Amino acid sequence: MSNNLLAGKVGIISGALNDQSIAWKVALKAHAEGARFVLTNAPLAMRMGEINKLSEECNAPIIPADATSTEELEALFAGAQEQLGGKLDFVLHSIGMSANIRKKKHYGELDYKFFNQTIDVSAMSLHKMLAVAERQDAFNEWGSVVALSYIAAQRAFLDYTDMTQAKAMLESIARSYGQRLGKLKKVRVNTVSQSPTKTTAGTGITGFDAFYNFADMMSPLGNAPAEACADYCISLFSDLTRYVTMQNLMHDGGFSTTGISAEIVDVMTRAAGE
């Protein structure tokens, strides 16, 4: 069902790798809500070619860019404005990668070259994007930027290793750049802290199934699916949320404010043989 919430709006959507990606669902919904946009991803990720299907379905051009490269981001933002015929109304940052997680390194043995790369790809890239947008004066007034985060920014989740620090930094950049762009251009910047979700990035984490099931049992509404996350992003791109900025918005079915649930009590009781 479409409500034309994004009619007339144009933007950039990063991070659609395959049809499991949160960004993929955001793109489909943004298209259904009347937006026009450019899709982007790292050139390496595009070799798999899946993004071409999404591009056809949404009638959205693709501009490859490694989000750690200021030059490539400059070409992305300039190219997007050219292809879309004007300044931007929204940007989705849906980018995360940790070689430490990929290589299953535990928190005590993190490789610092990888750690730097995790920060660069997963957090500093938001600053780079917004700095490029600022220099190019690429936003329309009342534009909206959303980046995806995870509750490990606030709580310790050891298996999330260096992504924990990356998400804390991402949320902090959203606050600082939100303050700056709010003043400069009335543009809002928020992070959405999403439930564990079965995507390529998500399932790469050691013990993912266990903490997916744990979060599901803890959350009164259950884990939020990727489609629902996409709906939330659309609401944040729409004019219905024009004064929401510099926030980390929990989209987690109630997980973050639950102490313990009946389901967890049940599991623990059975484990204790009571």
Ligand X SMILES: NC(=O)c1ccc[n+]([C@@H]2O[C@H](COP(=O)([O-])OP(=O)(O)OC[C@H]3O[C@@H](n4cnc5c(N)ncnc54)[C@H](O)[C@@H]3O)[C@@H](O)[C@H]2O)c1
Looking up tokens 């999403």 gives 194
Q: Which of 200, 210, 242, 269 lies at the binding interface for ligand X (CB under 6 A)?
A: 200
Q: Which of 11, 143, 196, 253 lies at the binding interface for ligand X (CB under 6 A)?
A: 196
Site string for ligand X, 213-252 (x = CB under 6 A): ----------------------------------------
Q: Which of 3, 70, 9, 77 is CA-nearest to residue 37?
A: 9
CB of 248 to ligand X, least distance (A): 12
Question: Sheet containing 188-194: which strands, arranged edge to edge?
Answer: 36-40, 10-14, 88-93, 139-149, 188-194, 248-251
Question: Angle CA(219)–CA(122)–CA(104) in degrees, nearest 5?
Answer: 75
CB of 187 to ligand X, least distance (A): 20
- How many C-beta neighbours within 10 Å does residue 85 have? 8
Q: What is the total count of residues that contact ligand X (CB under 6 A)?
A: 27
> Measured between alpha carbons, how far is 23 from 16 in angstroms, rounded to an integer?
5
Q: Which of 10, 95, 173, 215 lies at the binding interface for ligand X (CB under 6 A)?
A: 95
> Measured between alpha carbons, how far is 97 from 199 in angstroms, rounded to an integer?
12
Q: Which is nearer to ligand X, 124 or 185 (CB)?
A: 124
Residues that bind ligand X (CB under 6 A): 14-15, 17, 21-23, 41-42, 45, 66-68, 94-97, 121, 148-150, 194, 196-197, 199-202
